[in-house]
Structures are given as C-alpha cells and as structure tokens.
Amino acid sequence: MTKVTVVGAGMVGSSTAMRIGEQRLCEELALVDVVDGVAEAMALDIGQALPFAGSDTLIAGGTGYGHTAGSDVVVITAGLPRKPGQSRADLLEANGKIIAAVAGEVRDRSPQSVVIVVTNPLDEMTALAQRLTGFPPQRVMGMAGMLDTARFRAFIAWHTKTPPTRVEALTLGSHGDTMVPVPRLSTVNGRPLAEAMPAADIDALVERTRDGGAEIVRLLKRGSAWWAPSAAITEMVRAIVRDERRVLPVSAYCRGELGIDGGVYVGVPARLGRGGVLEIVDVGLSAAELDGLRAAAAEVSQRVADLDGILAGGNGGEVAAPLSAAAAVAPAGRPRDLALESKVRTAARQVLARSGQLDRLEEVVQRAMAQLP
C-alpha cells in the first residue's frame, strides 16, 4: 500500500493532493497544515471530489503528523513567500525554521520516505531538509527544473503555434538567474529549435521562462502559480511511486557528477524511481552548457553557505540537528545544535576550498560533529 503526504494545504499543496488522488498514485493521502482546519477542510473537499475521477484513494488532513506515519513520499510545499521590503536573509531564516520543523517530523514518522521539497529558496531549503532529516541525499530532492522546463515548453509551443505534445524542451540549474536553458536539445515537431525560430526569439523565450513565476504574480496580484507547480510535482511523485525510472530535471545532490564538485543541490537530469534519485544522467550537454550548469552550482553553493551563516548567527539551537543516514531509521536521540554545526560547516568549507577538497565537506562536518561531547 502506497502512502503520500503533502505538507502545506495552500493552493500548491491542495492542488497537488487533488492531482495525486485523481491519478490514483497512492492508496492513502495525508495533508498537513499549520493553520487549524485548513488541511481537514481540503481533505474533505478533495475526498468528496475523488469519486468523480474513479479514485478510491483515502485522504485525511490535520495540523499534526500522526496520520502521516509510514509515508513513502513526502512533498513539502509549506513556506512563506517573500514580502515587499523583506530581505533574502529574512526569507531564508523564516522558511528555514519551517523546513526544520517539518524535517524533524518526517524523520521521526516516515524514516524510509523520499522527500520532494518545493519551498523557496528551493536549493537552500532542499539542502537543509536533507541535513535535518539525515536521509541519504538520493532520497531528498527539489522541484526546480520540472517547472521551468514546462514553462519553456509552453512558450515554445505558443510561439510556434505547435501542439505542446510535439515540443520537447529542457532547462537545468535553478529558478531565476541560475536557470540554465538548453535550447540546443529542444525540438519542435522533431526539428531542432534553432530551425524553428530565430536566435533572438529563442533568447526572448528564455528570458520569459526565467521570469515565468514573476509574470504570474504580477498579473494575479494575490499570490503565485499553483497549477503548473502541482502538475510538475505530481509527475515527480508518479515517477517515484511507480518506479518509472524516467529522466526528469530536478534539484538533486551532485558530488562529482557532470563535473560539479563540493556536494551541492542543483537542477540536473536525474533518473527517478522507487528509491528517489537513482542516477544523475549526462544527456549530452555541450562544454558551454556544462560551464553554465557548474556556474549555477557554484552560486547555489555560495547561497547555501549564506544560509549556514544565518543559522550560525543566532538561531540558538531552535532547530533540531540532522541525524546520520544510519540513525534516520532508529529512534531519535539527543538533538544537536544546528547553529554549532553551521559554524563547523562554514569553517570546514573555507579550509577545504583552499585545498580543492570540497567534495569531502559532508564527511569532515559529520566527523567533527561526532567528536563533540
């Protein structure tokens, strides 16, 4: 029996739950939201709609996590959007605390689950979720390239007046400036994209894709996108629970793959199956495309270092520390101070960077933390 949990019952979370139920991807579906009554209300509404889709999926909602125990997949959509006047550091800290609280519950109640992080800033929150659950990196991933790829594909289809099903597209990296479009591998009716439109038009569509989320926010004026994100999430859930072993663009942990060193989460082509990320796939990227992807990874690495600095600067141990991968399946022990671990990580990163050994970062940090009283 397959069980999926969605944390966060807002527009993205609730539409994701509805899609998962409609497509009968699990027998049990759990919704969680910190706001009293929201997850319960959405569970009732979705549960009453599912018979129309011929689905027998059972759904339950609540503010606690008791009903999520034993989940095979956990999708984390909970988090706050960036508000006017709010610094990026403020958003990192606010959503970092949310991810910390969720990760502890997931670690304790669903220790064998695969985790999909949707909360922004995506790469930092995915890295944090992996540390705090202590799960092997292949069982924690982020929803990044899937959404940008869908947007790029739609824009190409609309521009060329081609059915979207006849368009193939690919974007890697992460959202915004670190997105790495791959128009060379994009096609329209089987023809290379460069043969379907001028280079200037391709560049314009790339920029529109980078701005895709902000464009919707500007028009909507009361929130952000949810239909496309929930569709992207559902595709990832499908590939995992059905062990499809499909190659999809997701934020996955790289440690040497594609020349990306240092251990960092970034959007890459990855084969997804029952165990999460089964492998990172080289789809034949050019030298220039690989350079762009590595540059994006380096920027993400710096942003994660910024997160370490914020957490080390005064969270005062409010968040539980990560367990080792082995301990993730055992009862939780005494939590460590994440502020201390972040200080250790920052110092280790500086030393290892000078000697070109960033690939040993996780090993060094875990060894150092294990030696502390």
pLDDT tens for residues 51-82?
999 999 999 999 999 999 999 999 999 998 77
Read off the pLDDT band of 368 (50, 70, 90): confident
Does residue 366 carry a pLDDT above 90?
no
Strands 58-62 and 264-273 turn out to be: unpaired
**Cβ 150 vs Cβ 232: under 8 Å:** yes
In which element (H, E) is residue 269 found?
A: strand 264-273
Average pLDDT of the residues of the chain = 87
The pLDDT tens digits for 81-90 are 776 665 666 7
Task: Name every residue whose Cβ is closer than 8 Å to that of residue 182 and which is 6 or more positions away in sequence.
Answer: 170, 171, 172, 285, 289
- Note the pLDDT of residue 331: 35
Helices (H), the chain: 11-22, 38-49, 88-109, 122-133, 145-160, 193-196, 199-210, 212-220, 227-241, 287-312, 338-354, 361-370
Q: Which domains does the chain have, with CATH numbers?
A: 3-142 (3.40.50.720), 145-289 (3.90.110.10), 293-370 (no CATH)
The pLDDT tens digits for 163-181 are 999 999 999 998 767 889 8
* Dihedral sign for Cα atoms in the order 79, 8, 171, 141: positive
Task: Check 175, 210, 345, 349 and give the catalytic one.
Answer: 175
Strands 264-273 and 246-254 turn out to be: antiparallel
**Cβ 107 vs Cβ 332: under 8 Å:** yes
Chain CA centroid to CA 163, Å? 28
The pLDDT tens digits for 278-305 are 999 999 999 999 999 999 999 888 888 8
- Note the pLDDT of residue 63: 97
Task: Count Cβ atoms within 10 A of the Cβ of residue 52 and give its class: 0-12 exposed, 13-18 middle, 19 or more buried.
Answer: exposed
Is 175 tagged catalytic? yes
Mean pLDDT of 217-245: 94
